[in-house]
Structure 1
């Protein structure tokens, strides 16, 4: 019999698929309207058909997105996962969609790790991290795993891999799978690096159902089937990241040798706007947290 966690993941996956279809249809209609293609009747037919395909009439859909929504946040219940923290949801409209933002992670391991968030490629992930950071969600939490992939795993206040906010959002910037090697290709050929050292990526549980958890790669990692959507890259504090990557690991409660022997604590995580970028805050949105130097 499937566990309640498995059922929750299946329901979340189904809702995520519907939201992806709706978002794709909305973007398609917006481009058609902008280009002035089609008649009014055609536009109406596309809108109606898209709403049906996207599951707008599904009885189990709790929230509906409008054509002006920038991001879709799927509510998650603490009744089925008490590792989640009640956070509400970020704004859905008037979110930054261009430029970069600076995320500053101050740990107990050295100088702060500074990350340039790629807002243009991951606007919803950027909005989520800004929203949570402004509420101190990441402060005084542990990076609970050092993975064999060469990344430190952070962003779960419970340190279990199950924690996060009471909402999820979809992948936006996942690298494409590596192409099959040509039969004539040399066996010694070096594959393209999927996640270069310094890459910061969000972690979905399951894949595509993202929350607050993230990875910082302290060495290059290549994957034929990438699983993580990229948030940005480290621009400062690489020595701190390298030192963290050298911490020995011990077995966690599940028997996996991924737990840092020396605890890694995030003292503060803040998100602010880079010079020259001036996003417009939506009504009722929390102000961006200030950037620490």
Structure 2
């Protein structure tokens, strides 16, 4: 869903949106970010320069509002190869940390999944996840100190095979440069049948190499996530829970440069859409 745009009936996950090209927006450093994810179509619109800082996510897609949408372009994709450092919490979380995963009866799972047990999980240490695709292998390093409940959920879904066979449904290369994944429906409307709280803090920054959760507003994290390979002018509203390997970034660069399938544009009409080079997870392993 998007605020101010009227959101769909159910909230969902989202990813970062392309940056507006309008000159006055650049002059004032304005940013409009939209993430669409989960639920039955959820969009997140982030409005800055107009004095509206409200945000919401709709569907598991990344979009921008129609007023600032960028037209499709065949220009070569420009990617800044500089990594963004993984953020650190100014104050460590209690270790262990308590987590709660709430069933979403209004948004049933689109693929069989068992929600993690509520209770304490480790808030220290790392986990590694490997995503094998036809486009190449993407390694993920998950940081429990950043987002223990998110890491616990992601690892649980990966071990259950929830992500195996799913495809990344949304690529954005303008302004916000990311690939959004984690929806079994491939339409930006799916999820695991449960949701959990955000694990964010004001110092969060997004950019190349950052792994974050898509959402449909506060407390709506599910299964959809996005991988940033370039610019990402977003507010600290999306849980960062790890980083992407160098090999994985090379794969994302290749996918980005292959372009967006313009025959299947995003409903948000923000210039994003399915990648031409399919990214389907043939195998997802933990450890």
Q: Same fold (TM over 0.5)?
A: yes
Task: Describe the superposition over 1:91-132 as per-residue Cα deviations: whole angstroms up to 9, x where unpaired.
Answer: 22342220111111111112x111110111100000001110
Equivalent residue, structure 2, for 1:97 = 123
Q: Are the aligned partners of 1:162 and 1:205 in contact in 2 as well (CA < 8 Å)?
A: no
Aligned CA distance change for structure 1 residues 253 and 202 (closer, same or farther; 3 Å): closer
The separation in 2 between residues aligned to 1:2 and 1:71, in whole angstroms, is: 28
Aligned pairs (5 A) from 1:148-227: 148=174, 149-176=176-203, 194-223=205-234, 225-227=235-237
Secondary structure in 2 matching 1:252: coil
Other structure's SS at 1:81 match:
coil
In the TM superposition, residue 83 of structure 1 has moved relative to its aligned partner by 5.9
CA positional deviation for 1:175? 4.6
Farther-moved stretch of structure 1 (101-110 vs 91-100): 91-100
Where do 5+ consecutive residues of structure 2 fail to align?
1-5, 12-38, 41-93
Is 1:122 matched up with 2:153?
A: no
Q: Is the 8 A contact 1:174 1:228 kept in 2?
A: no
**1:131–1:2 Cα change, 3 Å:** closer
1:232 paired residue number: 242
Q: Which 5+ residue runs of structure 1 have no aligned equivalent? A: 10-30, 32-67, 178-193, 273-293
CA 1:263–1:173 in structure 2 vs 1: closer, same or farther (change >3 Å)?
Answer: same
Tell me how far apart the structure 2 counterparts of residues 262 and 244 of structure 1 sit (CA, whole Å). Answer: 6
Cα 1:75–1:150, aligned 2, differ >3 Å: closer, same or farther?
A: same
Could you say if the C-alpha distance between residues 264 and 166 of structure 1 is closer, same or farther in structure 2, counting changes exceeding 3 Å?
Answer: same
- Cα distance in 2, alignment partners of residues 82 and 166 from structure 1: 5
- C-alpha distance in 2 between matches for 1:246 and 1:202: 23
How far apart, in 1, do the equivalents of 2:215 and 2:126 lie? Answer: 22
CA distance, structure 1, for counterparts of residue 206 and residue 9 of structure 2:
33
Match in the other structure for 2:283: 268
Cα deviation for residue 166 of structure 1 reads 1.0
Q: Which has the larger radius of gyration?
A: 1
Residue by residue over 1:57-81, the C-alpha shift from the partner in whole angstroms, topping out at 9 and shown as x without a partner, is xxxxxxxxxxx9720111112xx33
RMSD: 2.8
Q: Distance in 2 between matches of 1:137 and 1:245?
A: 25
What's the TM-score once normalised by structure 1's chain length? 0.60
Please state how far the C-alpha of 1:222 moved relative to its aligned partner: 2.4
Looking at structure 2, the residues matched to 75 and 206 of structure 1 have their Cα atoms a distance apart, in angstroms, of 16
Q: Deviations over 1:135-192 (max 9, x none)?
A: 1000011100002410000000111222110110111135548xxxxxxxxxxxxxxx
Structure 1 residues 175, 265: CA separation in 2 closer, same or farther (over 3 Å shift)? farther
Distance 1:253 1:197, change over 3 A: closer
SS at match of 2:258: coil
d(CA) in 2 for partners of 1:246, 1:2: 31
Q: Is the 8 A contact 1:115 1:236 kept in 2?
A: no
In structure 2, the CA distance between the partners of 1:140 and 1:123, relative to structure 1 (3 Å rule), is same
1:75 to 95, 103, 109: 103
Aligned pair count reads 195
